[in-house]
Amino acid sequence: MPSELQTSKTFFLISAIVNILVLLGWTGTTILGGLVTCGIGCLIGFVPLINLASCILDFIAYNKLEKLDRINTFQTLQFAAIMEIITVLSGNIISLVFGIMTLTYLGSDVNKTFLRDKGIF
């Protein structure tokens, strides 16, 4: 496995953990804001869902990179990296940086060739 894909695998794992922490923070803020503002603060309840979706996709992408035996791995990795970039809407800058770096790594011809050779592009 090329070192860039190995690094992307680590990025997905770290991003998933950070997304869990941000998810917990936004969930607490939503609950507290809802209590303090008599329910109006619950309007920000959609923000934690962004991190939940990204966290699930990060674990899926990590698992696909771990096994390297499933088709459409490249598309899953791309979608997970784009979802990491979208988490900037919840203030998650770490995942934004990891998503951009992962997309850059996936654009490399070496990685595309490796995935094609494995038959999972």
Print burial letters for 51-60: b (CB count within 10 Å at least 16), e (below 16): bebbbebbbb
Q: What is the pTM of this model?
A: 0.89
Report the C-alpha gap between 35 and 81 in whole angstroms. Answer: 35
**pLDDT at residue number 106:** 92
Strand, helix or coil at 118?
Answer: helix
pLDDT confidence of residue 71: 81
Q: What are phi and psi of 12, to 5 degrees?
A: -65, -40
Kindly indicate the confidence band of residue 42, based on its pLDDT and cuts at 50, 70 and 90: confident
pLDDT at 23 over 80: yes
Q: Whole-number mean pLDDT of the chain?
A: 91
How many of the other CB atoms lie within 10 Å of CB of 109?
7
Instruction: Tell me, rounded to whole angstroms, the distance of Cα 1 from its chain centroid.
Output: 21
